[in-house]
Homo-oligomer: A and B are copies of this chain.
Amino acid sequence: MVKRLIEEIKKKNAPVVAGLDPVLGYVPEYIQKKAFKEHGETLEGAAEAVWQFNKGIIDAIYDLVPAVKPQIAMYEQFGVPGIAVFKKTIDYCKEKGLVVIGDVKRGDIGSTSAAYATGHLGSVKVGSTECPAFNEDFITVNPYLGSDGINPFLDICNKENKGIFILVKTSNPSSGEFQDKEFEGVPLYELVARKVAEWGTGCMDGSYSNVGCVIGATYPGMGKALRKILPHNYILVPGYGAQGGTAKDLKPYFNEDGLGAIVNSSRGIIAAYKQEKYQKYGEQGFAEASRQAVIDMVKDINSIL
C-alpha cells in the first residue's frame, strides 16, 4: 500500500495529507442550520452537517492531495451516527481515488488488536462470508502494549496489502513526559523507532515498508535522528501549520529522494475560511478556501524539497 501512496504523491506532486477532523465549530452555520432543520439538534443532525462539510471539502481538493486522514475521535463524539459518517467519508474518498489513513490510534493486547486490525484494515468472517468493515488503507497505531499488540496489524498489512503508522513521537506539548524518558541514554521514542524499523522489515512494499511511523513536525532535531533509524519507513508528520511546525522544520523528515514523509494539515485546510488569509471566500466559499489552502501548503512544502 505504501507503493500506491508514493505513486499518488508523485502523481500529484504533493507529499501532503488533508486531515478531515471536523468539529461542529468548523462547519459553516448555513450547513448546520440545514442539517438541524432536517434531523433536529441531534447526533444525526450533527453527523449530517459534518458529512455535507466533508463532501464539500473532498470535492474541492481530491485532485490536489494524494491522501486524507479522518480523525475518528471527531466522528466518535457524535456516537453511532458519527461513526456512520466516518465510514461514509472513507468510502467517498476511496471513490475519488484518495488513499485513506484512518487516524484511530488503536492498540491493545493481541486478540483485541486483531479485532481492530480486522475491523479497520481487513475483513471479518461472518458465516462463510468475508465482510470488510471500515476498510481504510492505513491506520495509526499506539505502541504502548509492545510487539504482541502490534503483530496482528503486521499480519493484516501483509495479508491485505495495507499499512500502519505507529506513534513514535507525537506533536503535543506534553509528549515528552513519557516519550522522552531516557533508558540507558536512549529515549523511549527512539526505542519505539528501533522497533518500528524491525517490525517494518517484514512488510516491505517496494523500497519502503508498509509500516510507517508518526513523528510531530515540531521536533526537527529528532526528525533528523529518527530518519536515520528509519530509512525505509514513511513518516506521517502532524503538527504543520496550526500546531506550529513550519516547512523549514520539515526538511530533515524527508530522504534524499524527496520521499519518506507525508505532512498532515487538518484545521489549516478544513477551517481555512476562518483564517484572515482566506477571509474573502466567506462561509459559502469554505471549500474553495480549503482548495487554496492546499495549493499554498503544497507550494510551501515543495519549496524545501
Interface residues of A, Cβ cutoff 8 Å to B: 21, 23-24, 32, 36, 41-43, 45-46, 71, 73-74, 76-80, 82-84, 87, 105-113, 115-116, 118-120, 124-129, 131, 133-134, 142-149, 167, 170-179, 181-183, 188, 191-192, 195, 238
CB nearest neighbor in B for A122: B77
14 contacts between A and B (CB under 8 A): A42-B129, A43-B133, A71-B115, A73-B112, A73-B116, A74-B115, A76-B134, A79-B87, A82-B119, A105-B106, A107-B142, A145-B167, A149-B170, A178-B188
User: Which residues does chain B contribute within 8 Å of A126, judged by CB atoms?
Assistant: 24, 36, 41-43, 45-46
Q: Which of A23, A84, A146 has the most CB of B within 10 A?
A: A146
Q: Identify 16 new A-B residue pairs, CB closer than 8 A, beyond the known A73-B115, A77-B116, A144-B170.
A: A21-B112, A32-B127, A42-B126, A42-B129, A43-B133, A73-B112, A77-B124, A78-B124, A79-B131, A80-B83, A105-B107, A143-B144, A145-B174, A149-B172, A178-B188, A182-B183
- Cβ of A46 and Cβ of B105 under 8 Å apart? no
Tell me the bound Cα distance from A127 to B78 in angstroms: 13
Quick one: given A73-B115, A80-B84, are A109 and B167 in contact (CB under 8 Å)? no
Q: Which of B46, B74, B127 touches A36 (beta carbons < 8 Å)?
A: B127
- Cβ of B80 and Cβ of A115 under 8 Å apart? no
- Shortest CB distance A293–B (Å): 19
CB nearest neighbor in B for A239: B109
User: Which residues does chain B contribute within 8 Å of A80, judged by CB atoms?
Assistant: 80, 83-84, 87, 133
Q: Which of B107, B111, B172 touches A146 (beta carbons < 8 Å)?
A: B172
User: Which residues does chain B contribute within 8 Å of A146, judged by CB atoms?
Assistant: 172, 174-179
User: Which residues does chain B contribute within 8 Å of A42, judged by CB atoms?
Assistant: 126, 129, 131
- Shortest CB distance A257–B (Å): 30
- Cβ of A119 and Cβ of B78 under 8 Å apart? yes
CB nearest neighbor in B for A151: B174
Tell me the bound Cα distance from A116 to B73 in angstroms: 5
Tell me the bound Cα distance from A144 to B167 in angstroms: 9
CB nearest neighbor in B for A77: B119
User: Which residues does chain B contribute within 8 Å of A172, judged by CB atoms?
Assistant: 109-110, 145-146, 148-149
- Cβ of B170 and Cβ of A115 under 8 Å apart? no
For the complex of A and B, list the 9 residue pairs with the smallest distance between their C-beta atoms, beginning with the closest. Answer: A79-B133, A146-B177, A146-B174, A77-B119, A41-B127, A41-B129, A109-B172, A73-B115, A148-B174
CB nearest neighbor in B for A170: B145
CB nearest neighbor in B for A105: B108
Tell me the bound Cα distance from A57 to B109 in angstroms: 24
Tell me the bound Cα distance from A238 to B109 in angstroms: 11
- Cβ of A147 and Cβ of B177 under 8 Å apart? yes
- Cβ of B87 and Cβ of A119 under 8 Å apart? no
User: Which residues does chain B contribute within 8 Å of A175, judged by CB atoms?
Assistant: 145-146
- Cβ of B127 and Cβ of A82 under 8 Å apart? no
Q: Which of A73, A111, A127, A175 has the most CB of B within 10 A?
A: A73
